[in-house]
Structure 1
Amino acid sequence: MILIVDDSPENIISLKKVLEKNDFEVDTASSGEEALKKILKKSYVLIILDVQMPGMDGFEVAEAISGYSKAKETAIIFLSAATADVTLITRGYSSGGLDYISKPVDMNILLLKVKTFYRIYEQSRALNEMQITLRQEIEFRKEAERKKDEFISIASHELKTPMTSIKGYIQLLERSLDKNDKETIRTRLHKVQNQIEKLNLLIADLLDISKIESGKLKFNKQYFSFDETLDHIIEIMQQSNPQVKIVKNGCLSREVFGDEMRIEQVIINFITNAIKYGPDGEEIHISSEVRDQEIHFSVRDFGIGMSEEHQHKVFEKFYRIEETSERFQGLGIGLYICQEIIDRHNGKIGVKSTAGKGSEFYFNLPLSPEKEAIKILS
């Protein structure tokens, strides 16, 4: 938009008519004071400013505008009949004017100058937008590089931990073999097996994240018994973690359409996290039911919980809660993979939690319309 500032109504009318005829949007002010009020409220690309006005003259208006951050980049063209006065012209440029046009105004010259300023403005705006986009891209890539380095560091540490444990237990096993201590051998073999399983899960997560990034995470969907799968998981998890009481609530008597192995992966992740972040000896509640043509599954613990801020971010890739990262192992990708799996089943995943009172992770899966159709027809 262009602002014309002139105390002469005739000048305003003639300039406005010519500019609007050439498709420019125009606003007007009949005094310096009125112009300043408008500049505070609106943004202008160009101000055509009469020098000789009663009250505030054009130079005073220009100097006042230079103090407004909103109008610092606005171009100013001065209009004056006193073109012979070099002092006036010099003052005009020093007060912020970019050009000078003498009265009576040659409309062709005025239009040429206005179009030039508009072209410069459009180019400057495009350049600024490019700079902002480039800055954002650079910041994203810096940030991405930082996350990558952090992830490599965490992954290296997390992989070394079970490997170090396995090496230590094998050395102890060698000593136990020499003593023929079968009970100790059995105990240490069990510990080795647990560490190998941890290592296997870490490697599986790394492979899954790679497949997700490359779009190659495959799903083999078919009908399976959700309840049978869940019972099998609970049995294994209870045997591996006898210190925790796993309580199952509800029962699904119907089959589910999905990738059984991937759904099992999500359930194991939920239970593993509940055991990890819940206090020893406490219960873990596992619930499953049908709600509004959806399967609702949840795992609730009574452990450390998390704040609302962490609840919004916990499914992000590589996200780890800083306060617990030193106490609990993990790559920060397990829940991200779970979200990808549930999303690919057209489901919903989420968490409800209160700091200090535990967390409840859940997912909803839609019942298959194909299965419902088969039931109706039969």
Structure 2
Amino acid sequence: MAVRALNASTAAPIAIQQHTGWRAAERDSRQMLEALDVAVYTTDREGRLTFFNDAAALFWGRKPELGELWCGSYKLFHPDGSPMAHDECPMAVALREGRELRGVEAIAERPDGSRVAFTPYPTVLRDPDGTVIGAVNILVDITDRIRVEDSLRASAEALRASNAVKDEFLGLVSHELRTPVTTIFGNARLLRDRGDRLAESDRESMVSDIAGEAERLLGVVENLLLLTRLESGIHPDPEPQVLAHVARMMLDSFERRHPDRSIELRSEPRHLIVEADRPYLDLILENLLTNAVKYSPARSPIEVVIQATEAEAQLLVLDRGIGLDGTDMEQLFTAFYRSESARSHSAGLGIGLAACKRVVESLGGRVWAAPREGGGSEFGFALPLA
């Protein structure tokens, strides 16, 4: 009886001591979890929240009520952006299947609409008998990692695209340079070796071919140099220019080189002044006129119209050529772009209009293209009035 009494008298204090130790261990564990800088929460075996730390509340963007199911996320999504039901979330799967879940990624949306990508680490908790009594989950924010990976993928794709453009560019430039150089070299060699035995008409034709191909070659080189200068940050040095005077001088030079083309200049008023770099302004006009000549029938008229609004001077080049039906007008001013009709009609690099756009915009102006009623095209630019 004495032994039994002793056992009975000591059982309660031992149980109290064990319970107190368990409570202390639980308190220490909670304090440790609270101190962690990573989101941690626990649930019972039914998936109801029993604990979450401040980092979890910050991660979720809200403080859920204890007893809510699965987690405190406002909304969940799969990595591909499709919705994820809360009872399909990694914590729910871990509890339902009684196992750890690893290698999963998901996206949580906060009440304010912001999203965070994360990797969960749900681990089931068992009693000494092995029965699942709940689970603990750690949520690791991988938003920055995903952003860096996306950026690296985008950079790699841009590099591949850049290499493709570079290869295409080198091929186009090689072709555009080889053709005029071949013509110039071949005709010059014939004139040197057999010029005195050729008919006068043949010599004149060959000299004309040399001049034409040299002009074409010069245009390619000038446009490439212009784009390179602008890309490297070298901008035009504008001075006041009388637009009609510059246009008249440019047209006189152009007509001497294209005697078979009729170009009419109309300017009202006649003394519009703009701030522009004269060589660059000449190149813009040269490119627009060359474009009109290239894509319109021989001897068809070309008009150059100068007009004004309250704030800007406008110059329009009008032709009766192949037109712009079905063409994306913005793409026309993209480097190396050439429409289907342009490619089938004439060779070229597709840099002249791009050079015009870059120069005009560097001067604070704008460019445009539009189909003309009755056929043909309108290409124009506008610069602020000085």
- TM-score, normalized by the shorter chain, greater than 0.5: yes
Change (3 A) 1:4 1:291: farther
* Cα-Cα RMSD: 4.3
Change (3 A) 1:163 1:67: closer
Alignment counterpart, residue 262 of structure 1, candidates 275, 280, 284: 280
**SS where residue 275 of structure 2 aligns?**
strand
Q: Structure 2: how far apart are the matches of 1:50 and 1:83?
A: 19
Please list the CA deviations of residues 17-46 of structure 1 after superposition, one character each: whole Å capped at 9, or x if unmatched.
x659964524469787999996576798x9
Q: Structure 2: how far apart are the matches of 1:356 and 1:83?
A: 87
**1:194-213 paired onto structure 2 within 5 Å:** 194-213=212-231
Residue of structure 2 in register with 1:299 after alignment = 317
Q: Structure 2: how far apart are the matches of 1:67 and 1:207?
A: 53
Residue of structure 1 in register with 2:208 after alignment = 190
Q: Determine whether 1:154 maps to 2:172.
A: yes
Q: Determine whether 1:246 maps to 2:301.
A: no
Q: Which residue identity is paired with 1:226? A: L
**How big is the shift at 1:316?**
2.1
Aligned residues of 1:20 and 1:26 also touching (Cα < 8 A): no
201-210 or 148-157, which moves further after superposition?
201-210
Residue of structure 2 in register with 1:144 after alignment = 162
**How big is the shift at 1:289?**
0.6
220-229 or 129-138, which moves further after superposition?
220-229
Q: Structure 1: how far apart are the matches of 2:98 and 2:294?
A: 68
Residue of structure 2 in register with 1:179 after alignment = 197
**1:204-243 paired onto structure 2 within 5 Å:** 204-217=222-235, 219-243=236-260
Query: How many pairs are equivalent?
Result: 329
**How big is the shift at 1:304?**
2.4
Q: Structure 2: how far apart are the matches of 1:335 and 1:27?
A: 60
Q: Which residue identity is paired with 1:75? A: P
**SS where residue 244 of structure 1 aligns?**
coil
**SS where residue 311 of structure 1 aligns?**
coil
Q: Determine whether 1:59 maps to 2:104.
A: no
Q: Structure 2: how far apart are the matches of 1:356 and 1:4?
A: 76
Q: Structure 2: how far apart are the matches of 1:3 and 1:362?
A: 65
250-259 or 304-313, which moves further after superposition?
304-313
**How big is the shift at 1:75?**
2.8
**How big is the shift at 1:159?**
0.7
**How big is the shift at 1:125?**
2.3
**SS where residue 176 of structure 2 aligns?**
helix
**How big is the shift at 1:172?**
4.2
**How big is the shift at 1:333?**
2.0
Aligned residues of 1:220 and 1:258 also touching (Cα < 8 A): yes
**SS where residue 204 of structure 2 aligns?**
helix
| Structure with bigger gyration radius | 2
Using the size of structure 2 for normalisation, the TM-score is 0.69
**How big is the shift at 1:345?**
1.2
Q: Which residue identity is paired with 1:221? A: P
Q: Determine whether 1:333 maps to 2:351.
A: yes
| Identity across the alignment (%) | 23
Residue of structure 2 in register with 1:286 after alignment = 304
User: Which structure 2 residue ranges, 5 or more long, are not aligned?
Assistant: 1-38, 78-82, 109-116
**How big is the shift at 1:338?**
1.3
Change (3 A) 1:35 1:303: same
Q: Structure 2: how far apart are the matches of 1:273 and 1:3?
A: 69
**How big is the shift at 1:347?**
0.8
Aligned residues of 2:40 and 2:56 also touching (Cα < 8 A): no
Change (3 A) 1:301 1:23: same
186-195 or 124-133, which moves further after superposition?
186-195
Q: Which residue identity is paired with 1:83? A: D
Residue of structure 1 in register with 2:335 after alignment = 317
Aligned residues of 1:162 and 1:196 also touching (Cα < 8 A): yes
Residue of structure 1 in register with 2:127 after alignment = 83
**How big is the shift at 1:147?**
0.9
Q: Structure 1: how far apart are the matches of 2:46 and 2:366?
A: 67
**How big is the shift at 1:272?**
0.5
